[in-house]
Structure 1
Amino acid sequence: MGAGEIAGLIAAGAFLMLVVVLAVPILKLRHTVDAATQAINDLNDRTGPLLGGVTETVQNVNVVLGQTQVSLDGLNVQLAKIDTMTEHAQNVTANVANLTTVVSAAAANPLVKVASFGYGLRKAAAARRNAEDERDVRATLKQRRKAARAAGK
């Protein structure tokens, strides 16, 4: 057995390993394709009756419209009135939005100042209390040291 034959056996083994490694994803892909095919078949089964119902509904609407006479002039007048009312409502909404912006801007500035002042006042009071407590603690420690020195003499 020569070197070429050994190389051929190694290449054949490598190709066999490649086929085995690629067989697993291909089999999984087959299951995915089967599931997709089943979903499409289910969709086709459901779409047929649905389209039949839509066709029947459209036919019924055509029959009803054929039997009913609609006054287009009256409809146009009503649509014009509705369009005017919608336009007025849009203007009122815009005005309310502008008014809300102005009021919030006018009220927000003083409120922020009052809130800031209150916060600063609380911080200053807390700092003063802490300073008084610290002063009392220092005075007590100073008296203890003096008493300890006097007792030690």
Structure 2
Amino acid sequence: MSGGDIAGLVAAGVFAVLVAILAVPVLKLGKVFDEMRTTIKALSDGTTPLIDEVTATVSTTNAQLAKVDGIATNVSDATANISALSSLFAATLGQPLIKVAAFSYGVRSAFAGRRSTRTRPSRGR
């Protein structure tokens, strides 16, 4: 064996040790990737039912909002009808009632004025 052969054997041994030393981190990195894959699969399996529930909740909420929109429309129509009815009442019965009230107040005031002049004693007659 010559010196070149020995140097080749030493270099091969050093290379084998270097490969063994580098294999440990690569194996650990492979285990990390396996754990990451398992975790991502678990998250995916847990997220899918959650997304389905959220979709069902949003659909139910949209249906309820459609019902509330219908109720709000009906309330708006009822408010408009009540407003029109009160305007009609004020126009047809309000004005005559105000006139009757004013007339009755005038008559009462006139009678009250006549009574007060009868009950007062005259001043010099």
| Superposition TM-score, scaled by structure 2 size | 0.52
Partner of residue 129 from structure 1, selected from 72, 81, 86: 72
Rounded Cα–Cα distance in structure 1 between residues aligned with 2:57 and 2:17: 60
- 2:66 paired with 1:105: no
Unaligned runs of 5+ in 1: 1-68
1:86 positional shift: 2.1
Rounded Cα–Cα distance in structure 2 between residues aligned with 1:136 and 1:92: 64
Give the letter for the 2:58 counterpart. A
1:129 positional shift: 2.5
- 2:27 paired with 1:81: no
| Superposition TM-score, scaled by structure 1 size | 0.44
Rounded Cα–Cα distance in structure 1 between residues aligned with 2:72 and 2:41: 47
Give the letter for the 1:99 counterpart. A
Rounded Cα–Cα distance in structure 1 between residues aligned with 2:33 and 2:83: 73
Give the letter for the 2:76 counterpart. D
Larger radius of gyration: 2
Give the letter for the 1:101 counterpart. S
What do the CA deviations read for 1:77-109 (whole angstroms, capped 9, x no partner)?
112212211222222222122112111101111
Matches within 5 A, 1:1-153: 71-145=14-88, 148=91
User: Cα RMSD (Å) of the superposition?
Assistant: 2.8
Rounded Cα–Cα distance in structure 1 between residues aligned with 2:62 and 2:90: 42
**Identity of counterpart residues, as a percentage?**
7
2:5 alignment partner in structure 1: none
Rounded Cα–Cα distance in structure 2 between residues aligned with 1:79 and 1:110: 47
Unaligned runs of 5+ in 2: 1-10, 96-125
What is the aligned length? 84
